[in-house]
Structure 1
Amino acid sequence: MSAELSIFDLFLQASLLVKSVMLILLAFSIACWAMIFQRKKALDQAANQLKQFEDRFWSGADLTKLYNEISSRQHVQGIESLFVAGFKEFARLRKSNIQSPQAIVDGTHRAMRVALSREVDSLETHLPFMATVGSISPYIGLFGTVWGIMNSFIALGAVQQATLAMVAPGIAEALVATAMGLFAAIPAVMAFNRFSHKVEKLENSYGNFMEEFSSILHRQSAIEH
């Protein structure tokens, strides 16, 4: 409790610029933690949806029935959006009397590629902000520290007899800024690395499904022609 009070007292005693630096870093930290919880929930949902959809898709479900069921929902996202985009384009091209099975599959593949790009962009939401906080927060904290120490030594030079007791509070105030910079940066970097790995795994899974689904549609189109 006393440590918390002493840190708060140091904040109150700091200069206006150092206070501003601390508040900026605190805002970064709060925003980052909110995004971390939001991204974790979103990526976990995407991973669960992927598993559920693949289990159903590869169980031999009727694709037309599956498409009608999914496309009737108000919000379609994740792997389901790739399936809907691909099957919708496949049905459209098949009705347009295109004779080449490869042309049909190429059009279907392009539609799924666009859907994949949108889904990856959605999965990567907030990750650039985390990377930015992780990279700049230590430097912002260091700037506050340097400024605070500089002010302490300037004030120290104005007195005839300098003591450690006179300069220590100012240096301690300044070092709090560095600590806050690290406090904001470390979770941001760890979350960015972990979430980037999860997004990469999901993107690879989406890409594999896209290729496998294209092969299925190619075989079906070749049989029909």
Structure 2
Amino acid sequence: MKMETIQAGEAIDFSAVGLFLQSSLTVQVVMIILLLASFWAWAIIIQKYLVFARARRDMAAFDRAFWSGEPLDDLFDRIGDRPRSAPERIFAAGMTEWNRSQRDSGDLIPGSLARIDRAMNIAIQREEARLFKGLSFLATVGSTSPFIGLFGTVWGIKTAFEGIALSQDTSLAVVAPGIAEALLATALGLVAAIPAVIFYNKLSGDADRITGNWENFADEFASLLSRQIEEPAA
């Protein structure tokens, strides 16, 4: 009897692919969902790392141009109607409102500075929405994948016990495959969730720092314009 149990156990494929093929349809669907979620999460992680690296380079390049001493009107003309980076779009929003606020006589319409601030804040919010796009999916994967995997585990164990009841055999060779299939779903849930949670926290912090740099630039730009408004009056 013991030798038959060993031979039955050796005949079972305990590899991940083998366990997937041997599991029930419900557990297979759960595993496929978790694999797709993990794949998509890693795609977002890699894409965000590239986007954030480019955002830092764009901010550094624009800072050098902005503080180079070049007149702001010349910088605005050089950027043109289609700014290529987030800092340029924020700057262009402020300069566009600045130009619209000037009268033919050269005076500024009352409340110009508030409108310039509002225009740049709207531009920052648009850029922030682009920057954070996709991060909510990482949060969803991180929070739900363990429970999806647990559902697959519970269903797999239920199926395993049903098989035991039908076969009237409680030997390890009968019990082990069903339990192994069920636990694979939990493992896939953790594989999907752990990187998603780690990189969501990391990328969210990076995004906050990038948007903070944009907001600091907008404040500095508004201060420069405020001094230009107040100097003639002084």
Matches within 5 A, 1:48-197: 48-73=57-82, 75-95=83-103, 103-197=111-205
Cα distance change on mapping 1:219 and 1:143 into 2, 3 Å: same
Q: CA deviation at 1:65?
A: 1.0
Q: What is the match of residue 211 of structure 1?
A: 219
8 Å CA contact 1:35–1:126 kept in 2: the answer is: yes
Deviations along 1:61-120, one digit per CA (max 9) or x if unpaired, are 2111111111244x5331111100001101110137695676111110000010010010
Q: Distance in 2 between matches of 1:121 and 1:211?
A: 20
Distance 1:94 1:149, change over 3 A: same
Q: Bigger CA drift: 101-110 or 59-68?
A: 101-110
| Counterpart position of 2:29 | 20
Letter in 2 for 1:204: G
Match for 1:217: what amino acid?
L
Number of residues of Structure 1 aligned to a counterpart in Structure 2 = 221
Which digits, 9 at most, give the CA deviation of each residue in 1:7-63, with x for residues without a partner? 111000000000000000111111111111111101110011111111221121211
Query: Which amino acid counterpart does residue 189 of structure 1 have in structure 2?
Result: V
Between structure 1 and structure 2, the one with the greater Rg is 2
Q: How far apart are the structure 1 equivalents of 2:183 and 2:104?
A: 69
1:159 CA displacement: 3.2
Q: 1:5 to 1:116 in 2, by over 3 A?
A: same
Does 129-138 or 63-72 show the bigger shift? 63-72
Q: 1:5 Cα deviation (Å)?
A: 7.2
* Partner Cα separation in structure 1 for residue 84 and residue 32 of structure 2: 40
Question: 1:131-186 CA deviation, whole Å, 9 max, x = no partner?
Answer: 10111011101100010011111221223341111110000001111111111111
Equivalent pair of 1:101/1:221 in contact (CA under 8 Å): no
Q: Give the counterpart letter for 1:45 in structure 2.
A: R
Structure 1 pair 147/130, CA: closer, same or farther in 2 (3 Å)? same
Q: Secondary structure at the match of 1:200?
A: helix
Instruction: Give SS of 1:95's match.
Output: coil
CA contact (8 A) 2:62 2:88 kept: yes
Query: Which of 28, 40, 54 does residue 45 from structure 1 map onto?
Result: 54
Deviates more, 1:92-101 or 1:122-131: 92-101
Unpaired runs of 5+ in structure 2?
1-12
Q: Kindly tell me: are residues 201 and 102 of structure 1, through their superposed partners in 2, closer, same or farther at Cα, counting changes over 3 Å?
A: farther
Distance 2:104 2:189 in 1: 60
Aligned identity (percent) is 43
Contact kept, 8 Å, 1:77 with 1:119, in 2: the verdict is no
**Superposition CA RMSD, Å:** 1.9
